[in-house]
Amino acid sequence: MSYLVNGKAFSEVPRPGQCLRTFLRDIGWFGVKKGCDAGDCGACTVWLDDEPVHSCLIPAFRAEGRRVTTIEGLASNGELHPMQRAFMNAAGFQCGFCTAGMIMTAASLNEEDRKDLPRVMKGNLCRCTGYHAIEDAIHGVKSIGEDLPGKACGADLLAPAAEGVVTGTARYTLDTKVEGLLHLKLLRSPHAHARILAIRKDAALAVPGVRAVYTWEDVPRRLYTSATHDDYHADPNDMYMLDNVARFVGQRVAAVVAESEGAAEEGCRRLEVDYQVLPAVFDPEEAMKDGAPVIQDKSAESRIRRPGQNILLEIHGDVGDVEKGFAEADVIHEGTYTTHRVQHAHLETHCSITWLDEKHRLHVRTSSQTPHITKQKLCYLFDLYPDSVRVFCERVGGGFGGKQEVLTEDICAFATLKTGRPVKLEFTREEQFIASTTRHPMRVNMKVGARRDGTLTAFQMRVVSNTGAYGNHGGETLYAACGEAVAVYRCPNKKVDGYTVYTNMVPSGAIRGYGMTQTIFAVECAMDELARNLKIDPFELRRINMVKPGDQMIAESAAATDTEFGSYGLDQCLDLVQQAMVRGNGVKRPEGADWLEGKGIAISMHGAVPPTEHRSEARLGLGDDGYYHLAIGTAEFGNGTTTVHRQIVASVLGSTASRVRVIQSDTDSTGYDTGAFASAGTVVAGNAVRLASDALRERILDFASKTYGVTRDSCRLEHDAVTYSNTRVPLADFFAAARKQGRQLEVVRKAYGTPRSVTFQVQGFRIAVNRITGEIAILQSVHGADGGVIINPMQCRAQVEGAIAQAIGWTLFEKMVFDDGGRMINPTFRNYRIPAFADAPRRTEVYFADTNDAFGPLGAKSMSEAPIYPIAPALANALTDATGIRFFDSSLTPDRIFQRIFESSQPSKA
Amino acid sequence: MDLNTIGEIARPKRLDKAIDWRDGDAWLAGGTWLFSEQQPHLRRLIDLEGLEWQSLVVNDRGLEIGATCRIAQLAALDAPADWTAAPVIGQCCRSFLSSWKIWKTASVGGNVCMSLPAGPMISLTTALEGKCTILQRDGTERQVAVEKFVTGNNKNVLKPGELLRRIELPASALRKRTSFRRMSLTHLGRSAALLVGTLSPQDGVFMLTVSAATDRPHRLEFPGVPAADELAAKLKQEIPQFFDDVHGTPAYRKHITFHFAEEIRRELSGNKP
């Protein structure tokens, strides 16, 4: 037998049931990725005899004697394939996990195919980009700008990982061969609520290759939370690594460790578990009632406010007097808005590899947004000294908040500590759906009142959030939900009540939008209703009521905060979007009398830094190669912070971004960082980078002045040299001179996420909806963003486009559906459809406000998370404009649109 | 994905007694469904590729599709000019949720044997009056119409060890006028409803195939193009229940089915839809 891959012959033999994808990885071709392992996402696309195929669906034995080409084999004679070059030129990726498959597909297309990209690219899913940059790449559009000395800020520079991504050589978490690796698989609960009476391991342990089985009796009986925040008090300690109570379908019951994945799977199937099934509750309103099953019967140390009522946290606050406010109102809108359960769907599933080195130090290679906090958590769980644990990330294949959570590292590390062997845990796509985290479904009762002139007189909101079986981010997301969505409007009388409630559902967690997409949906729909009732233009209604510089930002309390207007661009965003929508784009609705047309807008405000403690440390130095070396703890998962950090350094030091090398997300070689979430990468870590850059510049000039005996003023730092009085010292020589004197040209600076500024978004849609089929066609999509000074406009625009596509997916297509027993019925990409090429509006007009922030680095503000907020309500408002019917639920699939139109056409029985 | 319980692949050149069907066996055609889900009950795959069944035979009787014919081969069929129904072949091939890359691997027979409501090869072969030939355990064959072959969601008449050998579409059906309608909740996604109408130029018989909206395909037959209320009444009578899954609610599927049925009726009666 012989397999020919990228021109090389391999004599390895695949297992009988092995698919080509894992066989190729086994023999070292790590460019072949797994997004779904079921043929839906295309990340594993390779060529078989020059024809693209999804290698996860191809029995490996069928490749025998045929030519296999992976992304690593696409370049020839050291020259990139034109499509690889094109993906670089257009920056056609963010996290890059889908890119190999994307390029292998795109590179196989002929001229005719390229005319119908929605069809030919539909088998390749990208969760990050929204497909605009991918379309540009395939059509040969060049978006990247030049990297000129001192001109880095504001330049469209390419991510430093680009070449590695397009050649398949960028290493992600599992792209490594580890000798002696054990595989861990988890047996998961089939019941939504059950006590585990007994687990018999014998049959599992008898499976050849099974090395160990762990149950709740084997792991430390120590409460913790999967959420990762610097201050762990922010989240409830309500879970055990393995527990004797299962609280949702999919919860870990036991771990099997074996020499192969197959043996570990078989071990899981052979475990015999006796369950005592307990009553379960899935609806949070039901869960709060007397007599409901108590899900988390914990003591005060878990920090659950009312465990007996299943209430993790409640918030009650008011300013002014809402009753008085409603009495003054000419128009009142009341409505109950609901948001459904959706997921991140990053293409790289959760995964870790853990091992011990010869000094018995624990190494954790993981797909995480928070390596430093994950390390702390592992130290806590296993009573380890901080210096005996290292957590690091290679490139991370997407996160969207899902990786601000410890879901694999704990049990994987436990198995390594027990066995002394390297252990790998890789989630399947199904586990991703049933056993990671989701957005919090929320029910929001809105009541708003306004005077005839549009001025708000009263604003009342009651939020019930479903955190599922565990509390993790349930508390913090409720604070977020009750924050900026309320504070963006001025109103003397406000009242907010919020509850986060346990149910026997899969846990909710951190996800782009963090509690706010849900309430912003409710608030912005309610504001639209006021505008419609008052016959005031929706832009105008916002202008009348939105917060402005000089106002205090007040949600449910008028207490002083650290949030300030470091800059303000909401007014500009509204103007930009309104102008673009008035201008139009010439796209007409589909022909036929059944197509109705409507416009809708929504706005949002977002704290530029998360409210809980946030800090980062940057270490920056000049290296012997004459390059700047930056070490920063934050992780890169497609958010583009690495690109931005290089641009900040280059900008301050008058150099080019290409002269800045970055080490990141490794607790051994970078200083403490609270994590890459809430868009903190640009603002907090970016501020640390800026402070370090300023300090290094001073240090270099000081040193030059002393060494060369000239005044400071006569020394200049140029992009690749230090100059003084007609002498030019290349940076490498300058480094050598310093070294000779025993001096290190390195600085460390820390930054803190306070005071906090705010960013703004405005989204406008013009849509057509078919009143018969319920289909929606997006005719125009306009987004106004206030991100302060935009350090990399191309990249920032791409973040906005990606957020819009993700929100469109959540609103128009995606929905996690569960049966009566709390079991998810669609845990695959074919049944939980994230937007494919054809589904995303690839031509959103993105406009940036011209602002300069007082707190962010170089005047920048955060801009990765926030564009997601106004999308769903803007769509819903456009739908209302088209049909005259209000849609109160955030899931707007054609069948639900039809249902609502149908219901509304029935004569009222009243 | 890896099917870790598979210990053996049989790769027969002919289907003779050497292949004794046993528990834990599965036929492997394209494998695009088998390898897309865990199959812990399976121990052996019997690869049909080595049998080298002819993919497509065009003759006077019509079109004979070998069960292992790839979707891509069918889509590329160069049909005789008088097969006025040929466009439906392409329309149905393009109705897969899966990518064209998978059509190179997936087989027509596999799609029919999966017997999922949204199987577009089921829609195609039902609408064009296809007949399945089933290879029985004793080596003999039996025939059954496609709409009788599929009996429900993921259910069909195959007994363990039986194999779909081929599907024949009669030339008379391929010479009909057709009208095609499909709806999916996402763009180019899985069908919520797929309807095909045919009209015979010879005897004026009108047939309407309803698929994807129901758990199995339904073909309604009328001696001529019916009146609107006649068609609606028959739909109501023949299809008491519509399918329920994440790709469309029953109420929606019913609504779309009636809407498309009427559009097709009008189109084939010569009126503008």
Shortest alpha-carbon distance between residue B7 and chain A (Å):
6
Does residue B160 share a domain with residue B69? yes
Asked if the Cβ–Cβ distance from A831 to B246 is below 8 Å, we say yes
Could you tell me where in chain A the CATH 3.30.365.10 domains are found? 448-610+755-905, 615-752
Q: Which helix (H) or strand (E) holds A185?
A: strand A182-188
Burial of A295 from C-beta contacts in 10 A (0-12 / 13-18 / 19+): buried
Asked if the Cβ–Cβ distance from A836 to B4 is below 8 Å, we say no
Does residue B259 share a domain with residue B221? yes
Does residue B140 share a domain with residue B211? no
Q: What is B62-113 written as a DSSP string?
A: EEEEETT-BHHHHHT----TT-TTTHHHHHHHTT-SS-HHHHTT-BHHHHHH
What is the token pair recorded at B192? Answer: 């919520």
Select from B115, B148, B172 the last residue of a domain: B172
**A60, closest residue in chain B (CA to CA):** B2
Which residue of B35, B185, B248 is in closest CB contact with A813?
Answer: B185
* Segment A344-400, tens digit of pLDDT: 999 999 999 999 999 999 999 999 999 999 999 999 999 999 999 999 999 999 999
- B272: chain A residues, CB-CB within 8 Å: none
Q: What is A644-691 written as a DSSP string?
A: HHHHHHHHHHT--GGGEEEEESBTTTS-----S-TTHIIIIIHHHHHH
**CATH assignment, A615-752:** 3.30.365.10
3-state secondary structure of A772: coil
Asked if the Cβ–Cβ distance from A39 to B45 is below 8 Å, we say no
What is the token pair recorded at A501? Answer: 């409630």
Q: Based on DSSP, count helices (H) and strands (E) in chain A, helices before strands.
A: 25, 31
Give pLDDT, residue A1: 66
Tell me, what DSSP letter sits at residue A768? E
Shortest alpha-carbon distance between residue A817 and chain B (Å):
7
Query: A655 falls in which pLDDT band (50, 70, 90)?
Result: very high
Shortest alpha-carbon distance between residue A476 and chain B (Å):
31
- Please, what CATH class does the domain formed by A182-278+347-398+403-435 belong to? alpha beta
- B35: chain A residues, CB-CB within 8 Å: 19, 39, 56-59
Shortest alpha-carbon distance between residue A15 and chain B (Å):
8
- A61: chain B residues, CB-CB within 8 Å: 9
Give pLDDT, residue A645: 97
pLDDT exceeds 80 at position A907:
no
- B99: chain A residues, CB-CB within 8 Å: 39, 42, 54, 122-124
3-state secondary structure of A413: helix
A715, A701 in Cβ contact below 8 A? yes
pLDDT exceeds 60 at position B272:
no
**B249, closest residue in chain A (CA to CA):** A895
Q: Mutate which of A41, A56, A61, A62 to test chain B, going by most B C-beta atoms within 10 A?
A: A62
Asked if the Cβ–Cβ distance from A16 to B2 is below 8 Å, we say no
Pick the CATH number of A3-145 from 2.120.10.30, 3.40.1280.10, 3.10.20.30, 3.40.50.10490: 3.10.20.30
- Determine contact: B24 vs chain A, CB below 8 A: no
Give pLDDT, residue B273: 40
Does residue B166 share a domain with residue B70? yes
- Determine contact: B172 vs chain A, CB below 8 A: no
**Residue B3 counted as domain residue:** no
**Residue B2 counted as domain residue:** no
Tell me which residues of chain B, numbers 69 to 108, contact chain A at a CB-CB cutoff of 8 Å.
94, 97-102, 104-105
Give the mean model confidence (pLDDT) for residues A465-472.
98
Does residue B47 share a domain with residue B124? no
Does residue B261 share a domain with residue B178? yes
Query: B271 falls in which pLDDT band (50, 70, 90)?
Result: low
Q: What is A523-570 written as a DSSP string?
A: HHHHHHHHHHHHT--HHHHHHHHB--TTS---SS-----SB--SS--H
Could you tell me where in chain A the CATH 3.90.1170.50 domains are found? 182-278+347-398+403-435
| Whole-number Å distance between alpha carbons of A242 and A253 | 6
**A261, closest residue in chain B (CA to CA):** B4
A645, A143 in Cβ contact below 8 A? no
A148, A155 in Cβ contact below 8 A? yes
Give pLDDT, residue A910: 42
**Residue B273 counted as domain residue:** no
Q: What is the pTM of this model?
A: 0.97
Does residue B193 share a domain with residue B163? no
Q: E-strand spans in A757-878?
A: 758-770, 776-786, 845-848
Which residue of A772, A831, A902 is in closest CB contact with B259?
Answer: A772
| Whole-number Å distance between alpha carbons of A90 and A165 | 13
Cis, bond preceding B217 (omega within 30 deg of 0): no
Pairing between β-strand A182-188 and β-strand A423-426 as defined by DSSP bridges: parallel
Query: A187 falls in which pLDDT band (50, 70, 90)?
Result: very high
pLDDT exceeds 80 at position B16:
no
User: Max alpha carbon distance in chain A (Å)?
Assistant: 93
Give the mean model confidence (pLDDT) for residues B88-110.
95
Give the mean model confidence (pLDDT) for residues A211-220.
98
CATH of the domain at B216: 3.30.390.50
Shortest alpha-carbon distance between residue B230 and chain A (Å):
21
Select from B109, B139, B172 the last residue of a domain: B172
How many structural domains are present in chain B?
Answer: 3
Asked if the Cβ–Cβ distance from B8 to A16 is below 8 Å, we say yes
Asked if the Cβ–Cβ distance from A61 to B5 is below 8 Å, we say no
- A772: chain B residues, CB-CB within 8 Å: 259
Give pLDDT, residue A610: 79
pLDDT exceeds 60 at position A559:
yes
Asked if the Cβ–Cβ distance from B252 to A52 is below 8 Å, we say no
Which residue of A260, A832, A839 is in closest CB contact with B187?
Answer: A839
Torsion of CA A637, A640, A643, A646, to 10 degrees: -80
Domain hosting residue B142, numbered range: 56-172
pLDDT exceeds 90 at position A613:
no
pLDDT exceeds 70 at position A89:
yes
| Whole-number Å distance between alpha carbons of A175 and A71 | 14
CA A163 vs CA A155, A169, A615, A790: distances in Å: 19, 8, 31, 24
Does residue B63 share a domain with residue B36? no
Select from B172, B197, B222 the last residue of a domain: B172
Does residue B215 share a domain with residue B229? yes
3-state secondary structure of A813: helix
Asked if the Cβ–Cβ distance from A54 to B102 is below 8 Å, we say yes
Does residue B243 share a domain with residue B163? no
Asked if the Cβ–Cβ distance from B5 to A260 is below 8 Å, we say no
Give pLDDT, residue A908: 59
* Segment B164-187, tens digit of pLDDT: 999 999 999 999 999 999 999 999
Give pLDDT, residue A622: 97
**CATH assignment, A448-610+755-905:** 3.30.365.10
Give pLDDT, residue B19: 72
Give pLDDT, residue B20: 84
Residue among A493, A477, A482, A559 nearest A523 (CA) = A482
Does residue B82 share a domain with residue B119? yes
The residues near A736 (Cβ < 8 Å, ≥ 6 apart) are A624
Give the mean model confidence (pLDDT) for residues A618-639.
96
Torsion of CA A138, A141, A145, A147, to 10 degrees: 40
Query: A680 falls in which pLDDT band (50, 70, 90)?
Result: confident
Q: What are phi and psi of B60, to 5 degrees?
A: -60, -30
B71 alpha carbon, distance to own chain's centre: 11
* Segment B190-245, tens digit of pLDDT: 999 999 999 999 999 999 999 999 999 999 999 999 999 999 999 999 999 999 99
Shortest alpha-carbon distance between residue B59 and chain A (Å):
30
A430, A464 in Cβ contact below 8 A? no
Does residue B221 share a domain with residue B134? no
A757, A645 in Cβ contact below 8 A? no
Give pLDDT, residue A609: 84
Give pLDDT, residue A649: 98
* Segment B36-59, tens digit of pLDDT: 999 999 999 999 999 999 999 999
